[in-house]
Amino acid sequence: MMYTVLLLASSLLVPNPYFQASSNTLAVRELCNEARRQLNEQNYSEARETASKALKIDAQSAQALTLLGQSEFALGNLTSAEHHLTEALRIDSTLTETHRALGATFLRQGQFNEAQRQFEAVLRSHPDDISSLYGLGFSLLSQDKPSQALKPLTQAYHMNPSDSEILTGVMQAYLKLGQLDQARSVLNQLNRRFANDYAQQMQLAEILVNEGAYILAIVQFQNLLKLSPDSYELNYDLALAYHRAGKEDEAAAQIHRMLSQQERAELENLLGEVEEKRNNYVQALAAYRKAVELQPKSEEYQLDYATELNQHWNPTEALRAFSAGVKTFPSSVTLWMGLGGTYYLLGKYSEASETLLHTSEMAPDNPNVYALLGLAYDAAGPLQKAIEQRFVDYVKAHPSDALGHYFYGKILLDQNQHKAGTSLDQAQQELSRAVELNPKLSQAHLDLAKLFQMRDDTTAVRTQLETVIKLNPESSDAYYRLIPVYRKLGEPEKAAIAAEKFRQLKDTENADAPREQVKKLLSGPNQ
């Protein structure tokens, strides 16, 4: 990380005027002075050896422990560095340099909350310590606390306006806050500093992409192409940035320019994504197919091609593509999911259930697999018992998955509908847990209404059905079920309104919602 390098250069290897040695012996002081000189000269192994000699004389020397920790940090031995620096602070908790060094060590290890605490300890006594301001800012940025990070980073920048790393941190804070105008202003300032520095400008582009600032990334890649117009990577990055920014026409034009110069599978696959977004399904399918032809050993391209067939074309062709895919990539969970889902779309429910059960063995923690299994349950026939057992195991292992609880509760409810006197307690428990985890899960509320109807709890039925309508005003099923509920509760006017809404919706509501849910689950992030 660049900020760790800066901390090393600006603070860790510089003598600290606040440093107090814990030993008064001349030998320890001389050895510590020598170790610090070696650190400043970047002779880290020698510094480690010298600090170790000082500790042999006085094992309780906080100064020697700190120098040893700094040496280990510089050599990349972070666990050892943390141990020595922590021990130094145990002996003397007031050591500014030690807190700063330990903060840098935690940063390098990704322990951002611990790093924050160390830098804050320095700033309490030395509020203008620029290295700690910088380190605190990046600790907070790494914890996704940009509003808190902006203050120390801005303060550090005002203390040293020439420091481009700190200014880059300020830009990142603005990006995370969504303040694009301020981020653009800082970006322009950094680009002026790095006018002819390709590597630095590229690093800025990577930051923009990582922060999802694709509009700014487009401009950055355009500027970089002025320095290296023939770079395939830059041209591809520009096309990708257009796509992610939603500028699909520009993305398509850029990709076609590149394809006119050389044909590549990744370009064709990206073109497939772009044409899909432009609703040009013929062109999308052709591009995805071409990507597979150019690189048949790519799992990603095979998946995208088969998925496109499923979404807009012929599920029979998709079935062949997914079948070929799992033969080539037998460990691919997504391809097996696609195969199982396609069997379902074709009405081959036994094959769908069997395939999805196999997929759940491959990926016992994948929530999408279990969502597909739950949808397949109704038509699974003799495999229903195996699916039920999968959900028993799944909800135990994943107690926070609302959909998992919903499908398991639905399975239990469906079983109880045909068994008079069977307890509904467990079904209610699972469905209630589902809506507790996700109150917007309208289907779980609808099934709770069915359950309360079986219990003859009219008030609870009404509550659940009215909740469904708030979440999904187009639910004809909820209005249909409300008609007798309102009548029973002596509210004929509301019953009439519900009946009218049902009549309006019954012909327009999607009668094949489970199939649409399957297609959505199979569509993937790019569709």
Do 209 and 235 contact (CB within 8 A), yes or no?
no
DSSP 93: T
What does the DSSP assignment read for 360-404?
HHH-TT-HHHHHHHHHHGGG-GGGHHHHHHHHHHHHHH-TT-HHH
pTM over 0.85, yes/no: no
7 pLDDT above the threshold of 50: no
User: Across residues 341-355, what is the average pLDDT?
Assistant: 90
For residue 177, what are the contacts with CB-CB under 8 A and spacing of at least 6?
Answer: 146, 147, 150
Q: Report the alpha-carbon distance of residue 379 to residue 518 in Å, rounded.
A: 14
321 pLDDT above the threshold of 50: yes
Give the confidence band of 523 by pLDDT, cuts at 50, 70, 90: confident
123 pLDDT above the threshold of 90: yes
For residue 204, what are the contacts with CB-CB under 8 A and spacing of at least 6?
Answer: 168, 171, 187, 190, 191, 194, 220
What does the DSSP assignment read for 15-51?
--TT---S---HHHHHHHHHHHHHHHTT-HHHHHHHH
Cα torsion through 247, 248, 254, 260, rounded to 10:
-170
Biggest alpha carbon–alpha carbon distance for the chain: 98
pLDDT tens, position by position, 479-501: 899 999 989 989 889 999 989 88
Kindly report the average pLDDT of the chain as a whole number.
88
Between 514 and 205, where is the model more confident? 205
Between 505 and 402, where is the model more confident? 402
Q: Which of 351, 355, 359 is nearest to 332 (CA)?
A: 359
Predicted pLDDT at 21: 42
For residue 173, what are the contacts with CB-CB under 8 A and spacing of at least 6?
Answer: 137, 141, 146, 147, 149, 150, 153
Q: Report the alpha-carbon distance of residue 168 to residue 183 in Å, rounded.
A: 10
Percent of the chain with pLDDT over 70: 91
User: Across residues 473-479, what is the average pLDDT?
Assistant: 88
Predicted pLDDT at 378: 87
Q: Report the alpha-carbon distance of residue 417 to residue 499 in Å, rounded.
A: 25
Span of 133-142, 351-360, 392-401, 505-514 with lowest mean pLDDT: 505-514
Angle at 279 between CA 275 and CA 284, to 5 degrees: 35
Around 427, how many Cα atoms within 13 Å sit in the side-chain half-sphere?
Answer: 22
Do 307 and 327 contact (CB within 8 A), yes or no?
no
Q: Report the alpha-carbon distance of residue 485 to residue 477 in Å, rounded.
A: 13
Burial 323-342 (b: 16+ CB within 10 A, else e): bbbbeebeebebbbbbbbbb
